[in-house]
Structures are given as structure tokens and as C-alpha cells.
Amino acid sequence: LAKTTQPISMDSYEGQEVNITCSHNNIATNDYITWYQQFPSQGPRFIIQGYKTKVTNEVASLFIPADRKSSTLSLPRVSLSDTAVYYCLVGEAFGNEKLTFGTGTRLTIIP
């Protein structure tokens, strides 16, 4: 699995858009990019997955440049409940293989 690099932590104010970038320089042709959210003392929750360009769902957008060596998770108008750790993973689609979690980004939303 390609190794990922994310900022350790980020702070943002309520109502703002938050962008978390993940680097994955060694991503393979068959690899997808998946983001998970984890609250304290809970299991991770799937947020979004993409292969290239842009993917959007009801909670987030995922931007992937043409070289796919990085990706950006965008959370629109964050609220206090978005305070969590966000993990970027790279691998086959929908966890077709075992998942390797990196350090994640600890996002703190400030009122």
C-alpha cells in the first residue's frame, strides 16, 4: 500500500470550509483514495472515495489532481461536530485488501 502523509493537526472556526491535503507519491495505477473520519472511542466511518478529478457527496468533496500524487478532502461549512481525526488511505477500491491507516489529521473546530 502506498504510504500517505497528512498534517498532524488543524484548527478551524465554525462555518468555514476546511481542506485537508494528503500526499501519496507512490500511488499505484489501481489504487483509489479513501477518507475515513473517527470520533474518540468510536470506529472509523467512511467519508468518501475517489480515483481522479473530483468526487462529491452529501458530506464532503474530494479533489484529486491529474498526477494523483496528492488529494484534498474538503469539508464545507464545518461545525463543532466535525471535530475528529481524518484518515487518508490509498489502496484498492472499497477495501478490497487490508487497510493501512496513517497518522491521520486531528481537526479541531473552534466555536
Partner 1 sequence: GAVVSQHPSRVICKSGTSVKIECRSLDFQATTMFWYRQFPKQSLMLMATSNEGSKATYEQGVEKDKFLINHASLTLSTLTVTSAHPEDSSFYICSAREDGWTYEQYFGPGTRLTVT
Within positions 29 to 48, which residues make up the interface with partner 1, using CB under 8 A?
41-46
Closest separation in Å from C-beta 42 to partner 1: 6
The answer to whether residue 103 forms part of the interface with partner 1 (CB under 8 A) is yes
Is residue 56 at the binding interface for partner 1, with CB under 8 A as the rule? Answer: no
> Binding partner 1 by CB under 8 A: which of 15, 65, 76, 95?
95
The answer to whether 102 contacts partner 1 (rule: CB under 8 A) is: yes
Where are the extended beta strands (E) located within 14-98?
18-23, 32-38, 45-50, 53-56, 61-64, 70-75, 84-91
The cell for 49 is 472515495
Residue linked to cell 464532503: 60
Are 52 and 68 spatial neighbours (Cβ–Cβ below 8 Å)? yes
What residues make contact with partner 1 under the rule CB under 8 A? 41-46, 87, 93-96, 98-104
